[in-house]
Amino acid sequence: MPTALITGATAGIGAAFARRLAADGFTLVLVARDESRLAETADRLKLRYGVSVEVLPADLAGEDGLSRVEARCREGVDLLVNNAGFTLLGRFPDNPVADELRMLKVHCEAVLRLTLAALPGMKERRRGAVINLASVAGFFASSSYGASKAYVINFSESAAAEARGDNVRVMALCPGYVRTEFHQRASMDMSGTPGFMWLDADRVVGEALRDLALGKWVSVPSLRYKAVVAAGKLFPRRLVSELSARFGR
């Protein structure tokens, strides 16, 4: 059975990946900070899908947690889903630098290190894939959150180009607003966001896996967000940046 390691696996898009991959028969390695919630998630998946589930409690913002997940990736996985992430409520000049650095640790350093830990084994076996969760925000100037996701997109494309000769795929997944706990955890009031802009996590995962199978390096789920990204490229970058700074959050 192929093995998938998913970070941030207890909620939102990570949990949707866990459900879908369990249904597809993958052995799962689930990573999250909350050990009790992780165990509950694993029990539900084992009961419903009859798959083997390994739990790895770890905080990717800390060196100990990141190193332990890095070591597990080196043991060998067939699919790595770098999903863990969060955002901050305030504008970046107002946020404590420690909070900003913690976000960069999870979004950038963890993605880099876990991808590099998993790739050698995949290349040796000549099979495997990595999905790095980015965001539509990565195509726009949207505070340090958007900057971190721009890194994920650029890094994933670079890694995809390097790995393609080894029959290994790397893809950045760039959703827009998804109905998860993400904004609630950041205490963001999203009540003014139009209903049609929200995506379903299970559908996002379905489109992501389809795009991965097609060999895409960047996946933007749904036509509405494909249009948003395309429209952003039509206007001067400075104008887009100013509008993002004013309205993006």
CA atoms of 66 and 138, how far apart (whole Å): 23
Q: What's the DSSP call for residue 201?
A: H
CATH number reported for the structural domain that contains residue 16 in this entry? 3.40.50.720
Count of domains for the chain: 1
Can you tell me which residue has the tokens 């109905």? 179
Are residues 57 and 33 in contact, defined by beta-carbon separation less than 8 angstroms? yes
Quote the pLDDT of residue 183.
46
14 residue type, one letter: G
The residue segments making up the domain with residue 37 are 3-247
- Give per-residue pLDDT as tens, 169-223: 999 999 988 765 554 554 455 555 555 567 899 999 999 999 999 999 999 998 9
Catalytic residue among 145, 151, 177, 225: 145
In sequence order, the 6+-apart residues with CB closer than 8 A to the CB of 222 are 175, 176, 199, 203, 207
Q: Indicate the pLDDT class of residue 90, thresholds 50, 70 and 90.
A: low
- Give per-residue pLDDT as tens, 19-56: 999 999 999 999 999 999 999 999 999 999 999 999 99
Quote the pLDDT of residue 46.
97
Are residues 229 and 41 in contact, defined by beta-carbon separation less than 8 angstroms? no
145 is catalytic: yes
Q: Which is nearest to 212 in space by CA: 127, 147, 137? A: 127
